[in-house]
Amino acid sequence: MILATDNPAALPAPPLTAAPSSIALFLDVDGTLLEFAADPDDVVVDAALPELLDQLDHALGGALAILSGRSLQRIDELLGRPHLAAAGSHGAELRRDGTIVRAVRDSHGMSALRAYANTLLADLPGVVVEHKPDAIALHWRAAPTMAALVEDVAQRLVRAGRKGYRLQHGDCVVELRGIGADKGDALRALMHHAPFAGREPWMIGDDLTDEHAFEAAERSGGGGIVVGARRPTRARYALADPAAVHRWLAALAAHLQETTA
Ligand SMILES: O=P(O)(O)OC[C@H]1O[C@H](O[C@H]2O[C@H](CO)[C@@H](O)[C@H](O)[C@H]2O)[C@H](O)[C@@H](O)[C@@H]1O
């Protein structure tokens, strides 16, 4: 079955042909499972989402993972599913089998950078600062005219960090983050272990940081499903928005359950 009405552009919607034992599913959070909000703390989690994630996790024998730019702690606060495999902070944090196998802590100098960021942003009203483990996200969704000034602040921060950090651009956000793993690394790391190993990995995501995972998934025989109209992309399939993602995931859960029965 193909949900053709979910196709936002030239890319087709992903088909529902998988057998439960053949695929592994990787899911981004903001812009994919959740609609955007002007402030990261104001996102709304659909009441049916946690249960849907459980259904898929069960149907896939545990081969479901969340790959997010949020911290692991924030992913768990939002989704309430700490048993799921997950990568936080764009891949710098990793959990599998309920155990955190890769953690991240502020590196030396981060507290000075946080103070410097607060000083630099004092004159930029509407810009939201999100402090994460060894990372600072500067959000300008509520103040789009500030985008260039925020980029300038980010460049100053990365220079002040003396090569210990890099910038990660995203949807109305630029983040200063440690030089560490990306979502592609996280996907590959999970694919080395049961129940992911030997399956076809499929990643659903909307943002630039998800492209790393699309590429890693494609190289392992699966691929990417992009959410929204951002192009170019490495993804082979597309879904229009988080509501379309929810519908497709519900259809997939039903398909997997029928296939198993
Ligand atoms: O990889 P993701 O799960 O998509 O996380 C990427 C970033 O998502 C969040 O920021 C984005 O969503 C916010 C809430 O809707 C929005 O205000 C912001 O403009 C978006 O960029 C999150 O706050 C970041 O920490 C994540 O890195």
- Ligand 1 atom nearest the C-alpha of 141 is 19
Q: What is the pTM of this model?
A: 0.94
Dist CA 227 CA 233 (whole Å): 10
Dist CA 228 CA 83 (whole Å): 29
pLDDT tens, position by position, 18-64: 777 899 999 999 999 999 999 999 999 999 999 999 999 999 999 99
Q: Indicate the top mutation candidate among 28, 77, 173 to test ligand 1's pocket, ranked by most ligand atoms within 8 A of CB.
A: 173
Kindly state the average pLDDT of the residues 239-257. 96
Cis peptide before 144 (omega within 30 of 0): no
Cα-based torsion angle of the residue sequence 147, 88, 77, 146 in order, rounded to the nearest 10 degrees:
0
Q: What is the CA radius of gyration of the chain?
A: 18
Q: Which of 105, 45, 36 is nearest to 75 (CA)?
A: 45
pLDDT tens, position by position, 205-236: 999 999 999 999 999 999 999 999 999 999 99
Nearest residue (by CA) to ligand 1, atom 8, is 30
* Domains of the chain and any CATH numbers: 22-104+181-260 (3.40.50.1000), 108-178 (3.30.70.1020)
**Residue linked to tokens 């903001």:** 30
**Residue linked to tokens 């990643």:** 203
- Ligand 1 atom nearest the C-alpha of 205 is 4
Question: Over 70: is that where the pLDDT of 107 sits?
Answer: yes
Record the tokens describing residue 256, joined without a space. Answer: 């997997």
Cα-based torsion angle of the residue sequence 234, 175, 159, 104 in order, rounded to the nearest 10 degrees:
-100
> Could you report the predicted ipTM of this complex, rounded to two decimals?
0.99
Dist CA 184 CA 189 (whole Å): 9
Record the tokens describing residue 10, joined without a space. Answer: 């030239």
Nearest residue (by CA) to ligand 1, atom 23, is 40
CA 6 / ligand 1 centre spacing (Å): 23
The DSSP 8-state label assigned to residue 118 in this structure reads: H
| Alpha-carbon distance values, 148 to 57, 123, 152, 155, 175 (Å) | 41, 14, 6, 11, 14
- Ligand 1 atom nearest the C-alpha of 209 is 1
Question: Over 50: is that where the pLDDT of 6 sits?
Answer: no
- Strand-pairing partners, residue 64, are 25
What lies within 8 Å, CB to CB, of 78 at 6+ separation is: 29, 34, 43, 45, 70
Residue 157 CB coordination number (10 Å): 21
CA 73 / ligand 1 centre spacing (Å): 14
Q: Indicate the top mutation candidate among 27, 29, 30 to test ligand 1's pocket, ranked by most ligand atoms within 8 A of CB.
A: 30
CA 55 / ligand 1 centre spacing (Å): 25
Dist CA 32 CA 166 (whole Å): 24
Q: Which residues are catalytic?
A: 28
CA 178 / ligand 1 centre spacing (Å): 17
Output the ligand 1 site: residues, CB below 6 A: 28-31, 36-40, 43, 68-70, 130, 132, 137, 139, 141, 170-173, 175, 207, 209
Dist CA 174 CA 136 (whole Å): 9
CA 38 / ligand 1 centre spacing (Å): 10
Record the tokens describing residue 47, joined without a space. Answer: 């009441």
Query: What per-residue confidence (pLDDT) applies to 239?
Result: 97
Nearest residue (by CA) to ligand 1, atom 26, is 69
